[in-house]
Amino acid sequence: MNRPHNSIMVIFGASGDLTKKKLIPSLFELYKQELLCDDFAILGVSRTKFTDDQFRQNIIEAVIKYSESKEIDKDLLKNFAANAYYLPINTEEVRDYMLLKEKLDELNALKVTHGNFIYYLATPPQLYETIVSNLGVYNLQDTPDEHGSKKIIIEKPFGFDYESARKLNGHLHDIFNENQIYRIDHYLGKETVQNVLVLRFANGIFEPMWNRNFIDHIEITSSEFIGVEGRGGYYEGSGALRDMIQNHMLQIVGFIAMEPPSSFRANAVRNETLKVFQSLRHIKEEEVEKYAVRGQYTESLIRGEKIPGYREEKGVAPDSRIETFAAIKFFIDNWRWGGVPFYIRAGKRLPTRVTEVVIHFKKTPHHLFSTDNAEQTVNQLIIRIQPDEGILLKIGLKQPGAGYKIQNVNMDFHYSDISEVELPPAYGRLLLDCMLADSTLYARGDAVEECWRFVDPILNQWKENKEIKIYGYPAGTWGPMESFDLFENSKSEWRYPCKNLTDDGLYCEL
Ligand code: BG6
């Protein structure tokens, strides 16, 4: 495993939640596994007036509170935090970037980082353009000598529709080259999402069947048990389609549907996912009601506990029409997928936390075993992204005894069976890739724009057309029943990974 060159990671928004909950614990994990460079520094930047020591103390507390590691070596953690520095500036004030430049020069000499700087924008998206411009004013994006590299990592949302995404990309490109820009989508950092590529392209048995001749339809579910968790203000400007489908779920579609790349180089892989996004059949505005369903969770009682509805959440308008559940049906217009429907749903306050892809294979052309349940035989490949990460193949086999009664059985693989090691956190993997200048698992600007182009007509209709209903669903259930109407005339329906919480216990079977 390569180790990255010495570098400084500058975190804008260093006093915020993302830094505490994700970035710092992930960087510590890399440090613990000795995957970071020999000499590195974290430079926290934000308006809050911390000293270096206070910032280091915050880092220690963040790792203790949010790290997924079961055991934390306190001495190691102290050594890790000693590499952190802090600069209180107003990121909207261009003159303050002079202070940033001086601080970077100082740390660069101290840590021998050869001008390798990574800027992480963990700030509200409204600040992206200002920060990028201000970095440009002091040429902090420049790589004047052959050693120093400057990279910028940007968090989602990358825009809120196609036009704003294009504008943001244009602005970034005014200052940085595309190969310096890393748009992070933490789903691509998940071990099981990467495993989709290995499953498909390292095995000879799946690829011949991975097409319209053998696959009936594909279903992807992202279900969250939690609600908006105090982020009502953010969510009111977003909704499930923007928050989960435009990015995370379409990126999974990209990996599931892409053609084999000619190599595993970043652009070879990303060119193929781009082609998938370019082939998505756009839903016409007048057909949005037929192909997209939205819902919003309402108050309910789960195991005796009252769960508030979305409209009762802090920061949410009492008459909000923002969807906490979205389901869509669409097609990919290319040779491989012509006529195969894809169904995606994502929602909050569903019965459990689960993300999975279900490949539904076609039925046999002729039913040889004319027993009662021959029709029911299912061949499904379930790729469980989280939790209980693994893969399951459902097939029909003969029940022991007289006659030919067929029973569906499972062949399954769980990550936990092959590895004692906890799966690495998605952010850790992606941060390391960026340090190694590998952008394979980062979203490219053109792909992000294509994904917005695809969801824009749905967003427009949901905003403008007051006749399109938003259905209520009790918290703890699988969203509005209307989402089943997407399967019109077909014998299929969504797979239930577990029952409704309102009428059963929490049980999630792979
Ligand atoms: C984020 C969304 O991008 O992904 C959140 O903004 C969502 O609303 C989260 O909860 C889900 O991520 P994960 O890794 O928990 O599935």
pLDDT at 510: 43
DSSP assignment string, 211-275: STTTEEEEEEEEE-SS--TT-HHHHHTS-HIIIIIIIIIHHHHHHHHPPPPSSSSHHHHHHHHHH
> Which residue carries 């049906």 as its tokens?
329
Pocket test for ligand 1, best of 155, 156, 160, 186 (most atoms within 8 A of CB): 186
How far is residue 207's CA from residue 135's CA, in Å, rounded to a whole number? 46
CA of 185 to the centre of ligand 1 (A): 10
Domains of the chain from N-terminus onward:
7-155 (3.40.50.720), 188-486 (3.30.360.10)
Q: Report the catalytic residues.
A: 248
What is the Cβ-side half-sphere exposure of residue 486, based on CA atoms within 13 angstroms?
A: 26
pLDDT at 507: 41
CA of 146 to the centre of ligand 1 (A): 38
Rounded (10°) angle between helices 74-81 and 52-66: 140
CA-224 nearest atom, ligand 1:
10
pLDDT tens track, the chain, 510 positions: 678 889 999 999 999 999 999 999 999 999 999 999 888 999 999 999 999 999 999 999 999 999 987 789 999 999 999 999 999 999 999 999 999 999 999 999 999 888 999 999 999 999 999 999 999 999 999 876 666 799 999 999 999 999 999 999 999 999 999 999 999 999 999 988 999 999 999 999 999 999 999 999 999 999 999 999 888 999 999 999 999 999 999 999 999 999 999 999 999 999 999 999 999 999 999 999 999 999 999 999 888 889 999 999 999 999 999 999 999 999 999 999 999 999 999 999 999 999 999 999 998 888 788 665 555 678 999 999 988 888 999 999 988 988 888 888 999 888 878 776 666 788 999 999 999 999 999 999 999 999 999 999 999 999 999 999 999 999 999 999 999 999 986 778 898 887 665 554 444 444
> Which residue carries 């700087």 as its tokens?
117
Cis peptide bond N-terminal to 208, omega within 30: no
CA-156 nearest atom, ligand 1:
3
The pairing of strands 150-154 and 181-183 is parallel
Contacts of 374 (CB under 8 A, 6+ apart): 367, 368, 406
Q: Report how far apart, in Å, the C-alpha atoms of 376 and of each of 270, 391, 484 are.
A: 39, 21, 19
Calculate Rg over the CA atoms of the chain.
Answer: 24
pLDDT at 271: 97
Please give the biggest Cα pair distance in the chain. Answer: 85
CA of 224 to the centre of ligand 1 (A): 8
Side chain identity, residue 370: S
Give, using CA atoms, the residue closest to atom 4 of ligand 1: 244
CA of 187 to the centre of ligand 1 (A): 9
CA-238 nearest atom, ligand 1:
6
CA-231 nearest atom, ligand 1:
8
pLDDT at 424: 72
pLDDT at 428: 93
Report pLDDT digits (tens) over 120-156: 999 999 999 999 999 999 999 987 666 679 999 999 9
What is residue 160's DSSP assignment? S
Cis peptide bond N-terminal to 144, omega within 30: no
CA of 420 to the centre of ligand 1 (A): 25
> Which residue carries 């959440």 as its tokens?
313
Pocket test for ligand 1, best of 184, 192, 224, 249 (most atoms within 8 A of CB): 224
CA-386 nearest atom, ligand 1:
16
Pocket test for ligand 1, best of 220, 243, 355, 427 (most atoms within 8 A of CB): 243
pLDDT at 504: 44
Give, using CA atoms, the residue closest to atom 14 of ligand 1: 187
pLDDT at 509: 47
The structure tokens listed for 306 are: 């009252």
The model's pTM is 0.93
How far is residue 197's CA from residue 180's CA, in Å, rounded to a whole number? 25
Q: Are 502 and 303 in contact (CB under 8 A)?
A: no
pLDDT at 148: 75
Other CB atoms within 10 Å distance of the CB of residue 415: 17
Q: What residues line ligand 1, using a CB cutoff of 6 Å?
A: 224, 243, 355
Report pLDDT digits (tens) over 166-212: 999 999 999 999 999 999 999 999 988 999 999 999 999 999 999 99
CA distance from start to end of the chain: 32
Contacts of 219 (CB under 8 A, 6+ apart): 342, 343, 344, 357, 358, 360, 494, 495
Phi/psi at 242 (nearest 5 deg)? -75, -40
Q: Are 219 and 252 in contact (CB under 8 A)?
A: no
pLDDT at 374: 53
CA of 243 to the centre of ligand 1 (A): 8
How far is residue 394's CA from residue 401's CA, in Å, rounded to a whole number? 21
User: What H or E segment, with its residue span, contains residue 414?
Assistant: strand 406-414
Burial class of residue 117 (count of CB atoms within 10 Å of its CB; 0-12, 13-18, 19+): buried
CA-186 nearest atom, ligand 1:
14
Pocket test for ligand 1, best of 66, 160, 192, 244 (most atoms within 8 A of CB): 244
CA of 244 to the centre of ligand 1 (A): 7
Give, using CA atoms, the residue closest to atom 10 of ligand 1: 224
pLDDT at 407: 87
